[in-house]
């Protein structure tokens, strides 16, 4: 039985994990490779990207690494060139880079706002700007952008810059989906709900009194299924959207939240 991503070339930004365990980007990179993709693991932290790459190679997969800050144009250009040098094409761009900083319009600093917008929002615009011409020449490609449930609803505390950046990603993705559909290029978003991943623990623990286990307990209790999702739930959703199984799916916001968005509060 053919694997879902056999011989496809996938760029995963944010492919390292910020702590122990499985982050969304790491899980996605490994899953793409397990399904036959050749992966370019991109992360600002080269060691984190290399750990993901080593895991993929240990399982017999194909992976190369690039250290890049995707909020910087020269790094993005180098990332795209590395993919072409190593693999000759780019079939999937998986935008996973993101940071979470809490605070409303009054509490959040201007510096915090600018940082979150640059990393979460502008980076996606810039990676798409440089990858789309490659896909257009190929007459085929798929973009998977990892947004958030916070883009469409309140998640329990002020999250203004994060929510705004993730909401902008939805509109950006739909614009790309419409403009590039005639070129055989699809663009979709995954909207994770409450997830138990390394990225959320340190940034958000202060909003839960500094106790990570109490934070996890409360977040589990919020979910209709009784528990948060994890990086693999996000990765499997992304895999579907990136694969030819979703060849007629574009401009979609795929919510992965265990039913949380169905709640009134």
Domains of the chain: 9-197+231-256 (3.40.50.720)
pLDDT in tens, 98-142: 998 989 999 999 999 999 999 999 999 999 999 999 999 999 999
Residue (of 193, 117, 110) closest to 156 by Cα position: 193
pLDDT score for 200:
73
For this structure, is 248 an active site residue? Answer: no
pLDDT score for 62:
98
pLDDT score for 66:
98
pLDDT score for 20:
78
At 38, which helix (H) or strand (E)?
A: strand 38-43
What is the side-by-side order of every strand in the sheet holding 38-43? 62-67, 38-43, 9-13, 92-95, 141-146, 185-192, 253-256
pLDDT score for 189:
98
pLDDT score for 203:
66
Spans of the chain below 50 pLDDT: none
Q: Please tell me the pTM assigned to this model.
A: 0.95
Yes or no: say if 66 and 41 are a contact pair by the CB < 8 Å rule: yes
Residue at token pair 């916070």: 150
pLDDT score for 109:
97
Q: What single DSSP character describes residue 152?
A: T
Q: Which two tokens stand for residue 264?
A: 């009134």
Of 159, 162, 180, 208, which residue is the catalytic one?
162
């Amino acid at each position: 039985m053919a694997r879902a991503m056999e011989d496809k070339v996938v760029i995963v930004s944010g492919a390292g994990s910020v702590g122990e365990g499985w982050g969304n980007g790491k899980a996605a990179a490994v899953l793409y490779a397990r399904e036959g993709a050749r992966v370019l693991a991109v992360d600002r932290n080269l060691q984190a990207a290399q750990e993901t790459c080593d895991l993929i190679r240990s399982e017999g997969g194909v992976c190369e690494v690039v250290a890049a800050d995707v909020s910087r144009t020269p790094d993005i250009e180098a990332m795209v060139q590395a993919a072409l040098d190593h693999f000759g094409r780019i079939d999937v761009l998986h935008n996973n880079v993101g940071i979470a900083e809490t605070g409303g319009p009054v509490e959040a600093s201007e510096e915090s706002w600018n940082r979150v917008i640059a990393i979460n929002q502008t980076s996606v615009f810039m990676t798409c700007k440089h990858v789309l011409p490659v896909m257009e020449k190929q007459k085929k490609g798929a973009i998977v952008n990892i947004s958030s449930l916070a883009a469409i609803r309140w998640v329990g505390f002020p999250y203004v810059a994060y929510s705004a950046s993730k909401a902008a990603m939805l509109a950006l993705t739909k614009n790309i989906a419409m403009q590039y559909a005639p070129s055989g290029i699809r663009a979709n978003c995954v909207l994770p709900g409450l997830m138990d991943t390394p990225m959320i623990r340190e940034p958000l623990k202060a909003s839960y009194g500094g106790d990570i286990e109490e934070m996890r307990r409360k977040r589990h209790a919020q979910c209709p299924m009784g528990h948060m999702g994890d990086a693999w739930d996000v990765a499997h959703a992304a895999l579907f959207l990136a694969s030819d199984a979703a060849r007629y799916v574009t401009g979609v916001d795929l919510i992965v939240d265990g039913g949380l968005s169905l709640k009134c509060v």
